[in-house]
Chains A and B, each alone.
Chain A
């Protein structure tokens, strides 16, 4: 590879539009690479309807898409999305491509981009979308139970109106595109093992933990007040276990020592769940809905809690919120499955409760109102990596020695020649 060419970090979303873990991790990598002096650009897929909110930084580009035109079963974007992406890559000369997610970009955009002369690519696996049609969560569509493995037959049973044959086609398409990639990166061992079990050769898969853009210093323990604050941070969607959290809050209504704060923006909550959230936030004195927050506020907001709650009902991969909690010096109480269980050793840096079990979450939260336990867990918190350590590991996974990557300055940026793309800085 010609290292004079920038590395393109390609994300399905831009942090100025949404604050999901994948786009934040992608953005962190982009900054980490640049901090190391490695030429890099950041390309984000952005909904046309959000164009007015987009805030691109230096070296950042956008490809615009219409969400309603996205084909979710086979993960296909409109041809114009692939054209925009290829135009940016050709204009910037980026050869090494790091895809974070393929949602909204579409497998067709990956295929077309990787077919450009001299391009090589890595795909960062943030969830199971390649395997699972149920939003990539590996949760059964009807019963919402954890699914241990994907196959055309199992997926056809999970989506009986689609049938096994369409999942064979889906698997074939994903396989064709994956064959064009040089390798994969998973932020957790758990996810990596699941994809190895699904068929990706182990030697093509690297585990690299997400870093934080500004980890900062951990906050000191809060002064003892006899009252413990548990904070939820992130997107409020059904897979994040909002229902479980509300169930626990109801059970803890009479426990004065506990306060629960919910921070985040609401995304796709069913009407009934939204109504329940509104009602309980109004009626339960110890439950407070704090609303959305800016990413640079998270450390401060977490520092104002004693524990961070991660009650997701799906497996998770490596939730950024866990790294953020560690950076803020706060233990984590999480569902004891998947990437969460891997990242939070129970009794060391946090506690586990049974997935989708509000009563068990309430029990664990009550047990956590023990100052000695809190102190012990705080002492066991690991230090999360930062953007540059994350970038170094990515360069290694790409087979790029840091010295080589830094050897040449980026070429002068050229304006993409296709409408719909935008460069800033």
Chain B
């Protein structure tokens, strides 16, 4: 049946070409030419539009069409007809497929003009019912015994083929070897797939990917080819194929965290047929979780100039902000008007030194403030109570402990942390920052005041923010109007408006580099406030 459905698609492609010149003709939807209604539509995993409704009896079952809603689309429709009890004698129910670049939307007026005259037309009901392709499949199964016209079996095969994600599908009917090396996934955006494919008899033009319950479709124009001489042993004598067997493709779709299971890749051929490729779940890597965001640059070095970058950037920002805002409290801090929030360095030696310095500074203070240690998964969780005890001994107050996703980017979580202690004034010590004695004393001295303006201690050299002393109110107002950077310049924007504190600070980390993708996202105009 694969061959028949392939022939059907080839014929429809021919009909689409016939429809293209008809798009410019004048169209008039007069009442007398109404030939039926499109009641439900569905989009299958291959991206084809399936339609159900009723139509005048006796019309061709494969024909060119022009779809008109906000703009016009050339297409072709193939359907099969069957009786339905609620219809008059001159009408039949139909289920069919439309190939075009039109995608259904419930809130538009849809007209489907039937070629070649374009007088007769089908109209979409309002609102247009958009259903799952499986619903169409159920209706097809029920209608098949009563079919009165049209290529019902071919259409059924086509629908099943689109919804078939069984790996090693035999429908391809020809030899194809493929493997997926890596799938970088990002909820809200989709995925980047890397691998190789060898198809000696017909070229692969793109891919789609099923993950859990979602289907991601290849972004047009994003397919990258490269040579894969390393797979020559499986390719036989296919030197031309080996030169472009490697592939990378961006695939978009409404991916959610829950979908990151059971991946299957579908390779699409020029003749509109397809074949499925099994994907080892171990190849899945969540961007920003398992791999650095900059790993995407290995796929697309010019990522910021790719057409899909804005969508990628928006999804990444949403994903990161949601992650960075989450707080897990291990030990609540003492309730206090003034709170030091000290981001614990990831390196255990640095963590010990930071706490040693902090404790020393607290012991010098006339009235030591409450302290909250802020750590992330890079820090040894087991060490945190030990560090907190050392701080508590110096401050004379219980020391809080909270976990966030990245202690180096605490601004999104900070209001919640301050609320934990009921604090209005805070001193934030940046992760990996080590103020000198004068810097510590100035920062703690500033915290003891009731000033409203932000005060900041700078890292030595070209470094950024080492410590920030401000108020809960001031911070919230700033956050509401200035989204912090996703990249390493996270809080640097505050430096420009903050009053410099005397002293300096060293950093335990090398001068800042990397995180190119996040920097590019931060540079996008009008980065949205989360």
Contact = CB atoms under 8 A, between A and B. Distances in A.
A257 B352 CA distance: 56
A71 B436 CA distance: 20
A73 B347 CA distance: 11
Nearest to A72: B349
B359 interface: yes
B390 interface: yes
Contact of B510 (A72, A163, A173): A163
B470 interface: no
B359 A166 contact: no
A76 B360 CA distance: 13
Contacts of B507: 165
B508 interface: yes
B87 interface: no
A135 interface: no
Interface in A155-181: 163-166, 168-169, 172-173, 176
A359 B393 CA distance: 57
Interface string A99-114: 0000000001001000
A74 interface: yes
Interface string B488-530: 0000000000000000001111100000000000000000000
Given A169-B434, A169-B508, A79 B353 contact: no
Contacts of B508: 163, 165-166, 169
Interface string A264-278: 000000000000000
A169 B506 contact: yes
Contact of A74 (B353, B393, B437, B510): B353
Interface of B: 347-350, 352-353, 356, 359-360, 390, 393, 434, 436-437, 506-510
Interface in A23-76: 71-74, 76
Nearest to A166: B508
A107 to B, nearest CB: 9
B510 A164 contact: yes
B505 to A, nearest CB: 10
A113 B22 CA distance: 94
B390 A173 contact: no
B353 A76 contact: yes
B506 A108 contact: no
A15 to B, nearest CB: 29
A111 B356 CA distance: 11
B356 A163 contact: no
Interface of A: 71-74, 76, 79, 108, 111, 163-166, 168-169, 172-173, 176
B506 A79 contact: no
A108 B390 CA distance: 13
Contact of B349 (A73, A108, A111): A73
A374 B340 CA distance: 69
Contacts of B393: 79
A76 B390 contact: no
Contacts of A165: 506-510
Contacts of A172: 434, 436, 506
A121 B462 CA distance: 37
Nearest to A161: B347
- Contact residues of B: prevailing secondary structure: helix
22 contacts: A71-B353, A74-B349, A74-B352, A74-B356, A76-B353, A79-B359, A79-B390, A108-B356, A163-B508, A163-B509, A163-B510, A164-B510, A165-B508, A165-B509, A165-B510, A166-B347, A166-B349, A166-B350, A169-B434, A169-B506, A169-B508, A172-B436
Contacts of A169: 350, 353, 434, 506, 508
Nearest to A111: B360
A108 B357 CA distance: 10
A166 B353 CA distance: 10
B379 to A, nearest CB: 15
A76 B352 contact: yes
Given A71-B352, A74-B349, 8 more contacts: A74-B353, A76-B353, A79-B359, A111-B360, A166-B350, A169-B353, A169-B434, A172-B436
A72 B348 CA distance: 11
**Lowest 6 A-B CB distances belong to which pairs?**
A73-B349, A71-B352, A74-B353, A76-B352, A79-B390, A165-B508
A79 B349 CA distance: 15
A211 to B, nearest CB: 36
Contacts of B352: 71, 74, 76
B462 to A, nearest CB: 13
A44 B270 CA distance: 82
B368 to A, nearest CB: 15
Nearest to B350: A166
Nearest to A107: B356
Nearest to A156: B510
Nearest to B348: A71
A73 B360 CA distance: 19
Nearest to A69: B386
A74 B348 CA distance: 11
A74 B345 CA distance: 14
Contacts of B348: 71
Nearest to A164: B510
Contacts of A79: 359, 390, 393
Nearest to B507: A165
Contacts of B506: 165, 168-169, 172
A79 B510 CA distance: 29
Residue with the highest number of chain A CB atoms closer than 10 Å, among B350, B352, B360: B352
B380 to A, nearest CB: 12
Contacts of A73: 349
A164 B356 CA distance: 20
Contacts of B350: 166, 169
Nearest to B351: A71
Nearest to B347: A166
Contacts of A166: 347, 349-350, 508
A141 to B, nearest CB: 16
A172 B504 CA distance: 12
A227 to B, nearest CB: 52
Contacts of B360: 111
A108 B508 CA distance: 19
A82 to B, nearest CB: 10
A407 B507 CA distance: 50
A168 B509 CA distance: 11
A175 to B, nearest CB: 11
A169 B356 CA distance: 13
